[in-house]
Amino acid sequence: MSTRQKLQNKAYIPEKWENVNCPVCNSNVFSEWERFGDKMQYTYVLCKKCKLVYLNPRPLYNEAFVFDAYEFYAENDERYNITDDFYNTKTTFEKQEAQEVCKYDERRTNLLDVGSAAGKFLFRAMPFYKKVTGLEVSSRMAELVKSRLNINVLTDKFENVTPNEKFSCINMSHVIEHYPFPHNWLQKAKTLLEDDGILVVSVPNMFSLDRLVKRFVKKIGLFKNAWESWRTPDHLFEPTINAMNYLFKSEGFKIIDYYTYSRKKMNINSFTGRIYHRYFRLGSNLKFIVKPQKE
């Protein structure tokens, strides 16, 4: 999320708006889902075909928007205040996440973490893989991870990256919903995966129990979301199970497993966790483990 407007105490005002079709199925048939923003200036719509919730109209997706929404980090950004014990004491969830991913990646030769940020997942995945690599649009964040963890971090957009190697696992944790062309990323992932490699995609769950309750409470006027004027609408779409299934199937991926989880604690294998996260799939986040279909 951008911090420039916050630092300058300025409201974010899109330079231009654009109307778009559904990023997953390209349908233009939708209904309004909800309005949000400090002046309710943003609108999420629900695709009638694949059930994706997406931003429409949205700020023009260009370099200026990308910089404001994703690439600008202020000097006092808390993500840079990393102490020596940060990776050991602040990465419990990432440890559980890495262990869960390893259940599906039998080779564990090479891992690429797309949107690696401060490298918490990379740190926890290192003991399980022969090699780990990060990908991060912020050069400052990449340098931080390189200096702290001695891990190579590529600084490019995923759709443009051209590493001289392939990966047994590509991890995308809460990044694909920031990109307007998810089909392109899946096709790119195919070119970078080893034979029988896996793609792990984690996204918010728009139809989670808590999101649906919050939406209902807002609609009846009992709750109003706090939204600072400087915040950009950086989630270009909000995934749902139906829409993600449609996306993977349309791009020739086989779904190995999928479930919901909490970002505070995985808790998917306890008795109550299996009912909530694997049977009803009502958790706040979705995780898909997929691999390209063999022709």
| pLDDT tens column, 128-160 | 999 999 999 888 888 889 998 999 999 989 999
pLDDT at 37 over 80: yes
Residue with tokens 């791009």, as numbered in its chain: 251
Overall domain count for the chain: 1
For the segment 159-174, what is each residue's pLDDT rounded down to a tens digit? 999 999 999 999 999 9
DSSP at 275: I
CATH number at residue 183: 3.40.50.150
Q: Is the four-CA dihedral 276, 94, 71, 74 of positive or negative sign?
A: positive
Task: Round to whole Å and give the CA distance between 57 and 60.
Answer: 9
Range of the domain at 146: 4-292
**Buried-state track 75-86, b at ≥16 Cβ within 10 A, e below 16:** eebeeeebeeee
State the pTM of this model. Answer: 0.94
